[in-house]
């Protein structure tokens, strides 16, 4: 096994096991070969923690990937045609000899522009800033004493648009500072770090996480409610039966209660937190329906709320936060685990973003793009197989 690949697997497995850094199949990583001709990159729809010598990655010919953002013909295509063309070009750039239909991450062209080792994570403490209305200013305050500032990338649709916007900003940063950025904060998306050595890239991740965590330490503390444990099983049964009655299908329901859920249950503004739109492409793609806030577990109330949610979102809700009881997730075991990680992560970010000046979620147009984005649908399908 090439050193670049073994290092990529080590990085991916190390950070992929930490749910505060990666939820579900989110995030991606890459490593370039010493000759600078090829790049190993995470395959779309694969969890970082599951990457191994025989799965979860693709190898790309860098020379074939580099022209993607400079090709003016791509920008003239319709959004759908452009995204399909980029996927096609990335597939054609694979030089690993694999017969798998696994796709390289759609963010591969951005990875090519940066240093040899790139780590992209949906770190919750970073997303707390990236999803807050005052997050950009707070981020630069945190890193004001660093010799090189982080690069803040305003939100763009994932795929070509995000990569194109980031590439322009990377070029400007390089012109101003004489080198590539090592820390990139992508609005409503997550963290990128890049370095010439794997150990340095990993240290950078830990440094950013520690710095952002320290900045959240003074967040407002809220009461922790007492939980009615005897209500857990009856509530789970009622939600399951209500979903069956309204949606016409039997759906297992899972229960979750941790410190994040407790902290949100103890807030007076919980309804406001949940009413904000999805925060990230992952939340939009996988959950795609607001967490329903229930002040009680009355069966008729649950049925009414589910019916109302379907009418508005055209989809069965998958998450329910019940006052003084906890969080309930609907879905088969594998999907429920992914949904739980994303929903709990979203609750953490919403809580902190609100305390930082307000939640900056995805607007209607941004949500519509993700709903119709084929690459996201492909990723979701793979993640649940």
**Predicted pLDDT of residue 7:** 98
Phi–psi pair at 256, nearest 5 degrees: -140, 135
**Predicted pLDDT of residue 68:** 93
Tell me which residues of the chain have a pLDDT lower than 50: none
Sign of the dihedral defined by the CA atoms of residues 303, 307, 308, 309, in that order: positive
**Predicted pLDDT of residue 379:** 57
Query: What SS3 class is residue 193?
Result: strand
For the chain, what is the largest distance between any 2 Cα atoms, rounded to a whole number of angstroms?
65
Question: Which listed CATH number (3.10.129.10, 3.40.50.360, 3.30.450.40, 3.40.225.10) goes with 229-383?
Answer: 3.40.225.10
Rounded Cα–Cα distance for residues 233 and 78 (Å): 50
Rounded Cα–Cα distance for residues 93 and 78 (Å): 22
- Whether 378 and 103 have beta carbons less than 8 Å apart is answered as yes
Rounded Cα–Cα distance for residues 115 and 24 (Å): 26
* Kind and range of the H or E run holding 270: helix 270-275
**Predicted pLDDT of residue 315:** 86
Pinpoint the residues of the chain covered by CATH 3.40.225.10: 3-216, 229-383
**Predicted pLDDT of residue 249:** 83
Rounded Cα–Cα distance for residues 344 and 339 (Å): 8
Angle, CA of 234, 239 and 241, to the nearest 5°? 95
Look at the domain 3-216 and name its fold: L-fuculose-1-phosphate Aldolase (3.40.225)
């Amino acid at each position: 096994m090439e050193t670049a690949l073994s290092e990529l697997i080590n990085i991916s497995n190390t950070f992929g096991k930490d749910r505060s850094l990666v939820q579900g199949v989110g995030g991606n990583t890459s490593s370039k070969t010493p000759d600078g001709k090829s790049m190993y990159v995470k395959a779309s729809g694969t969890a970082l923690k599951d990457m191994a010598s025989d799965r979860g990655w693709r190898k790309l010919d860098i020379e074939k990937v580099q022209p993607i953002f400079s090709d003016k013909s791509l920008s003239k295509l319709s959004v759908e045609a452009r995204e399909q063309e980029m996927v096609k070009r990335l597939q054609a750039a694979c030089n690993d000899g694999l017969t798998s239909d696994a796709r390289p991450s759609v963010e591969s062209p951005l990875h090519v522009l940066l240093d040899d080792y790139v780590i992209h994570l949906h770190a919750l403490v970073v997303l707390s800033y990236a999803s807050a209305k005052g997050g950009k200013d707070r981020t630069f305050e945190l890193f004001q004493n660093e010799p090189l500032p982080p690069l803040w990338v305003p939100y763009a649709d994932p795929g070509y648009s995000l990569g194109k916007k980031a590439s322009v900003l990377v070029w400007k940063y390089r012109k101003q500072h004489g080198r590539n950025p090592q820390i990139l904060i992508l609005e409503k998306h997550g963290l990128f770090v890049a370095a010439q050595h794997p150990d340095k890239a990993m240290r950078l991740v830990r440094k950013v996480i520690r710095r952002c965590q320290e900045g959240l330490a003074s967040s407002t503390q809220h009461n922790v409610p007492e939980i009615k444990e005897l209500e857990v099983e009856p509530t789970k049964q009622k939600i399951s039966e209500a979903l069956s009655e309204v949606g016409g299908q039997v759906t297992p329901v899972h229960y979750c209660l941790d410190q994040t859920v407790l902290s949100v249950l103890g807030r007076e503004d919980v309804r406001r937190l949940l009413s904000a739109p999805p925060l990230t492409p992952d939340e939009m793609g996988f959950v795609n329906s607001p967490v329903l806030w229930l002040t009680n577990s009355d069966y008729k109330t649950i049925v009414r709320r589910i019916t109302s949610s379907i009418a508005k979102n055209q989809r069965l809700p998958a998450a329910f936060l019940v006052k003084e009881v906890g969080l309930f997730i609907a879905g088969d075991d594998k999907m429920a685990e992914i949904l739980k990680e994303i929903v709990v992560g979203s609750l953490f970010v919403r809580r902190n973003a609100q305390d930082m000046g307000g939640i900056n979620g995805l607007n209607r147009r941004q949500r519509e793009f993700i709903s119709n984005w084929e690459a996201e649908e492909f990723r979701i399908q793979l993640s649940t197989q």
